[in-house]
C-alpha cells in the first residue's frame, strides 16, 4: 500500500503523485511509482529548468544534432568525420564516494557519446573543491582525481584538459563535471530511438545489481547529515567492462543492425526504455526475467531503477538479434534480447509471468511536470556588489603579492592532478594539459584538429550572474582561440542550488541569459548539456557555477600555439586593453579576503573582435604564443607565460589607475602574445583593421619577470621563486603521498 511517506521518500511532491494518478487513471504500484520518481526528477525531466534552457541558441551552421539526444553532434569540416560531445555532472556521488563518483561520471559520459555512434577520443574535467587546508577536502580531491585517472586511463580515452578551482563554498559539495568528445563517420550517426514495432530490444553489457538505485533522485536532492547513508545510491564502475562495451557497440553500429542505442545511465532500464520509445513514437515491452542479474531475488522495482554501470540498451532490426549476440560474444560482452518494440505507446514490464508495470510512455517523459518557479534578485546583492576602492590599501610589496597569487591553488600549476591522467593514449594529443589555454586533439587522417576547453568562474556569477554567464562562455571560447581553434559550439553543466529558492532561481535565470547572449555574439550554439540543481549542504547553496565546454576547429595542426614564451628575444604584446577593474578578482579574494564588487565588464562585440584578431594572427603564423588574462590578471598571465616557456620577460607598462588593478585586475578580452619583431607590423594591421587595441609590453629575456609601471619597477622576481610558488603549492598541500 502506497502512502504519502512512500512517494515523498522517492522525492515526489504530493501534487506530483496526484498527477500520476490522473495520468494513469488509477493508483500506481510501487514499481511504477519508482519509475515516475526517477524520470520526473530534475536530473531526468529538467522540470525546473526546461523553460529556461529554451533560451539557449541551438541553431548553427555546424550543428548536426542539437539538444535532446545523448550528445550533440557537429560538422567540423573534416570531410566525413563528425564530432560528438557533451558534458555531465557527477557531483552528488562524488561528495559521498569520490573515487567511484568520479569514475562512474567518466563512464557515463563516455556512453553518452558512444550512443551517438562515436568513438570517444578525449575527456576533460571541470572540478571544484573546498580549501585544501581541510582534511576531508583533500580526501575528496585526491579521490576524485584518482577516480578519473583509474577509469579514464584504463578505458583508453585520454584526459586532455580541464580546470580545477578551490573555494570554501564547495567544501561539502564538490563539483565533478566531465566532458567527452568523440568522432564518428557520418553514416554511423545513431540516435536513441526505439522505432519500428517488432524490432528487438537488446540488453548489452554488465549484469544488473542493486547499486545506484534512485541515483537520479539522489542527484536531485540536497546533501546533509543523512548523506552518508546514501552511499548505496553511488554506482560502482568497471572500466574494463566499459572498454569491451565500447568496442562491441562500435562494431554493432558499424554493421548497421542498430536502429537506436542508449546508455542505461541515470534511471537505468526505466529511462532508456521510456526515452527511446518516446523518441521513436512507439512503446516497449520487456521481460525482466531475461535481464542478466548479479544478485538474487531482485524485484521489478530494483531491476527497473538500478543504475549498475556499463550497460546499453540497443534497438536492433528485426531478425538481426543473433548477429548482435555473436558480435557481443566475440568482444566478451553479455547481450540478451529482453523485449520488443511495440506500436502501442506504453512501457510494459513483465516479471515472473506477470505485468509488473504498464505506463504510457508520454506520462513518464513529455508529460512530466514543468515548473515556472518564482525568481527574485538576492536581497544582499547590492551590498555584495559595492566595493570601496578608496578604503582598499595598495600593497607595498608587489613581488610578494604575485608569489602569493601564483601559489593560490586555483592559479597554481595542476600537474599534481593531470600527470595522473593518461593524456596521450590514442596518440592524437597535439597540445595536452598545461601547455596551452585549450587542449588540441588531432582528427586522424586529416590536417585538422579540434581545440577543447572547459571553464567557469562562480565568483563572477555570485556577484553578477548575467555578466558571469557571459564571461563563462567568452572565456572558454577565448581559450580555444588562444590555442589556434575557431569556437563552433558549446555544451554546459549548470551547477546551482535549489531552484525552489527564488534567489537561486533568479541567479540561474540571469546566468542562462548571459550565456545565451555570449553564445549568440560569438556564434557558438549550445548542443546539449545538463543541469545539476539542489547543490546544497544543510540548506546552503554552492556558489552559482555554470561550466562551459567549448569545441573549436583547428584548420591546420601546424598552426597551433602554446601559452609559454618559447624563447628569448621575442616581442611581448597585449591584445585588448586594461581597465581599472578589481571586483570579483582572485586578488581581492586571496590578498584582501574580499568577495565583492562588480565583476569585470564584458563588451561582447570587443570580445568577438579580440578573438578574431588573435585567431587570424595564429592562422597567419604571426605569433609564437598566446595566453588569456584570467584569474590573477596581467601579472599572473605574464608569469604563467614565463613559467610555461622557461624564459623571463621585461615589461614596461603605463597606466593612469591603481597599480594593483593594472597588475591583478581581471579585465576581460585581453590576450598576451609573443611574436618575432618582423611580424609586429602585420599584427598591428590586423588589430587596427578590427579596431582592437594592441600594446607592446616588452621583450622576453633572462630568467626574471620584471614589470615597470610608469617608469618605476614594481615587480622583479626570478623564475625560480615563481616556479616554487606555482609548482610547489598543490603538492605541498597534498603532502608527499597526498593519498585519499
Partner 1 sequence: MKWAVAVFPGSNCDRDAYRAVADVLGDQAVYVRHDASSLLGADAVILPGGFSYGDYLRPGALARFAPVMEAVRSFAEAGGPVLGICNGFQILCEAGLLPGALLRNAGQRFRCQPVCLRVENSHTPFTGRFHAGQVIRMPIAHGEGNYFAPPEVLDELEQQGRIVFRYCDPDGRATPAANPNGSARNIAGICNARGNVVGLMPHPERAVEPFMVSTDGLALLAAVRDWLQATSTSPPDGNSATGGVQGAC
The single-letter DSSP state of residue 151 is H
| Residue 343: burial class (beta carbons within 10 Å; 0-12, 13-18, 19+) | exposed
Instruction: Please tell me the chain's helix, strand, coil percentages from 3-state DSSP, rounded to the nearest 5.
Output: 40, 25, 35
Residues 197, 194: Cα–Cα separation, whole Å? 8
Cβ(97)–Cβ(111) below 8 Å? no
Compare residues 147 and 280 and give the one whose CB is closer to partner 1: 147
Query: Roughly what angle, to the nearest 10 degrees, separates helices 14-24 and 30-39?
Result: 120
Please state, in angstroms and rounded to a whole number, the distance separating the CA atoms of residues 440 and 61.
22
Q: Least separation, in Å, of the C-beta of 154 and partner 1?
A: 4
Using the structure block, give the residue that is written with the C-alpha cell 540498451: 313
DSSP state of 389: G
DSSP bridge pairs for 341: 284
732 vs 136: CA distance, rounded Å:
16
Q: Nearer Cβ to partner 1, position 41 or 153?
A: 153
The answer to whether the beta carbons of residues 507 and 517 sit under 8 Å apart is: no
Q: Is 90 designated active site?
A: yes
CB count in 10 Å sphere of residue 444: 15
43 catalytic? Reply is: yes
Question: What are the residues binding partner 1 (CB under 8 A)?
Answer: 118-119, 146, 149-150, 153-156, 183-185, 188, 238-241, 243-244, 247, 250-251, 254, 331-332, 418-427, 430, 442, 444, 557, 737-739
* Angle formed at CA 84 by CA 499 and CA 331, multiple of 5 degrees: 110
Sign for the pseudo-dihedral over CA of 434, 436, 438, 444? negative
Report in angstroms how near the CB of residue 724 gets to partner 1 at its nearest. Answer: 16
Cα separation, 158 vs 154, in Å, equals 10
Provide, rounded to whole angstroms, the least separation between the CB of residue 315 and partner 1: 20
514: enclosing H helix or E strand: helix 502-522
Which one of 90, 172, 325, 537 is the catalytic residue? 90
Nearest to residue 615, comparing CAs of 437, 427, 382?
437
Asked whether the beta carbons of 610 and 575 are under 8 A apart, the reply is yes
Region of 555 (left: φ > 0; alpha: ψ -120 to 50; beta: rest) is: alpha
Across 268-409, the runs of DSSP E, i.e. the strands, are 283-287, 311-316, 335-342, 346-351, 354-360
Collapsed DSSP state (helix, strand, coil) of residue 227:
helix
Are 731 and 716 contacting, i.e. CB atoms less than 8 angstroms apart? no
Tell me how far apart the alpha carbons of residues 706 and 644 are, in angstroms, rounded to a whole number. Answer: 16
Question: Chain-centre distance of CA 624, in angstroms?
Answer: 29
Contact predicate 612/689, CB 8 Å: no
Laid out side by side, the sheet with 704-709 consists of 623-628, 671-675, 571-575, 694-700, 649-653, 704-709, 712-718
**Which residues are catalytic, by number?**
43, 90
Amino acid at each position: 500500500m502506497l502512502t504519502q511517506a512512500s512517494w515523498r521518500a522517492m522525492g515526489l511532491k504530493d501534487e506530483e503523485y496526484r498527477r500520476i494518478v490522473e495520468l494513469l487513471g488509477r493508483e500506481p504500484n510501487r514499481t511504477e511509482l519508482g519509475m515516475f520518481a526517477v524520470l520526473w526528477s530534475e536530473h531526468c525531466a529538467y522540470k525546473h529548468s526546461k523553460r529556461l534552457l529554451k533560451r539557449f541558441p541551438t541553431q548553427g551552421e555546424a550543428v548536426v544534432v542539437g539538444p535532446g539526444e545523448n550528445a550533440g553532434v557537429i560538422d567540423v569540416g573534416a570531410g566525413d568525420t563528425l564530432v560528438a560531445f557533451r558534458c555531465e555532472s557527477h557531483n552528488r556521488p562524488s561528495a559521498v564516494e569520490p573515487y567511484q563518483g568520479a569514475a562512474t561520471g567518466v563512464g557515463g559520459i563516455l556512453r553518452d557519446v558512444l550512443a551517438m555512434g562515436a568513438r570517444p577520443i578525449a575527456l576533460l574535467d571541470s572540478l571544484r573543491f573546498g580549501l585544501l587546508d581541510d582534511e576531508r577536502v583533500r580526501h575528496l580531491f585526491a579521490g576524485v582525481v584518482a577516480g578519473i585517472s583509474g577509469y579514464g586511463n584504463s578505458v583508453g580515452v585520454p584526459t586532455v584538459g580541464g580546470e580545477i578551482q578551490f573555494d570554501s563554498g564547495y567544501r561539502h559539495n564538490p563539483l565533478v563535471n566531465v566532458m567527452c568528445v568523440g568522432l564518428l563517420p557520418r553514416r554511423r550517426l545513431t540516435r536513441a530511438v526505439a522505432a519500428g514495432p517488432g524490432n528487438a530490444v537488446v540488453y548489452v553489457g554488465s549484469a544488473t545489481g542493486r547499486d545506484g538505485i534512485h541515483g537520479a533522485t539522489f542527484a536531485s536532492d540536497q546533501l546533509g547529515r543523512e548523506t552518508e547513508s546514501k552511499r548505496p545510491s553511488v554506482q560502482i564502475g568497471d572500466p574494463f567492462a566499459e572498454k569491451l562495451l565500447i568496442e562491441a557497440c562500435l562494431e554493432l553500429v558499424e554493421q548497421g543492425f542498430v536502429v537506436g542505442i542508449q546508455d542505461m545511465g541515470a534511471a537505468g532500464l526505466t529511462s532508456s526504455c521510456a526515452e527511446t520509445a518516446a523518441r521513436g513514437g512507439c512503446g516497449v515491452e520487456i521481460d525482466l526475467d531475461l535481464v542478466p542479474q548479479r544478485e538474487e531475488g531482485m524485484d521489478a522495482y530494483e531491476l527497473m531503477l538500478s543504475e549498475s554501470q556499463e550497460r546499453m540498451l540497443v534497438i536492433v532490426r528485426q531478425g538481426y538479434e543473433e548477429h548482435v549476440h555473436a558480435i557481443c560474444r566475440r568482444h566478451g560482452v553479455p547481450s540478451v534480447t529482453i523485449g520488443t518494440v511495440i506500436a502501442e505507446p506504453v512501457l510494459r514490464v513483465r516479471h515472473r509471468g506477470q505485468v509488473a508495470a504498464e505506463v504510457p510512455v508520454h506520462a513518464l517523459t513529455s508529460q512530466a511536470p514543468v515548473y515556472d518557479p518564482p525568481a527574485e534578485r538576492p536581497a544582499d546583492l547590492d551590498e555584495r556588489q559595492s566595493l570601496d576602492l578608496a578604503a582598499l590599501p595598495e600593497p607595498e610589496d608587489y613581488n610578494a603579492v604575485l608569489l602569493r597569487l601564483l601559489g593560490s591553488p586555483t592559479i597554481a600549476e595542476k600537474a599534481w592532478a593531470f600527470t595522473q591522467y593518461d593524456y596521450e593514449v590514442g596518440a592524437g594529443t597535439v597540445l595536452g594539459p598545461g601547455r596551452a589555454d585549450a587542449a588540441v586533439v588531432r582528427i586522424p587522417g586529416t590536417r585538422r584538429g579540434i581545440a577543447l576547453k572547459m571553464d567557469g568562474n562562480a565568483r563572477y556569477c555570485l556577484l553578477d550572474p548575467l555578466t558571469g554567464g557571459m564571461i563563462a562562455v567568452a572565456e572558454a571560447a577565448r581559450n580555444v582561440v588562444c590555442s589556434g581553434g575557431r569556437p563552433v559550439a558549446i555544451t554546459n553543466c549548470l551547477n546551482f542550488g535549489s531552484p525552489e529558492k527564488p534567489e537561486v532561481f533568479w541567479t540561474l535565470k540571469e546566468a542562462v541569459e548571459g550565456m545565451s547572449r555570449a553564445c549568440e555574439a560569438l556564434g557558438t550554439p549550445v548542443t546539449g548539456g545538463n543541469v545539476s540543481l539542489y547543490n546544497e549542504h544543510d540548506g546552503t547553496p554552492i556558489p552559482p557555477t555554470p561550466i562551459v565546454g567549448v569545441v573549436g576547429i583547428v584548420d591546420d595542426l601546424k598552426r597551433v600555439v602554446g601559452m609559454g614564451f618559447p624563447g628569448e628575444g621575442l616581442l611581448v604584446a597585449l591584445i585588448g586593453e586594461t581597465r581599472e577593474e578589481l571586483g570579483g578578482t582572485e586578488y581581492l579574494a586571496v590578498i584582501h579576503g574580499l568577495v565583492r564588487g562588480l565583476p569585470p565588464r564584458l563588451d561582447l562585440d570587443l570580445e568577438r573582435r579580440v578573438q578574431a584578431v588573435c585567431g587570424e594572427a595564429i592562422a597567419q603564423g604571426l605569433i609564437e604564443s598566446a595566453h588569456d588574462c584570467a584569474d590573477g590578471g596581467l601579472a599572473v598571465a605574464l608569469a604563467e607565460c614565463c613559467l610555461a616557456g622557461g624564459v623571463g620577460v621585461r615589461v614596461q607598462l603605463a597606466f593612469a589607475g591603481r597599480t594593483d588593478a593594472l597588475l591583478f585586475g581581471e579585465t576581460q578580452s585581453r590576450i598576451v602574445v609573443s611574436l618575432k619583431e618582423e611580424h609586429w607590423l602585420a599584427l598591428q594591421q590586423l588589430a587596427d583593421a578590427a579596431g582592437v587595441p594592441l600594446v607592446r609590453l616588452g621583450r622576453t629575456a633572462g630568467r626574471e619577470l620584471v614589470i615597470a609601471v610608469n617608469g618605476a619597477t614594481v615587480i622583479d622576481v626570478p623564475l625560480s621563486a615563481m616556479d616554487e610558488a606555482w609548482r610547489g603549492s598543490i603538492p605541498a598541500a597534498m603532502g608527499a603521498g597526498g593519498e585519499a
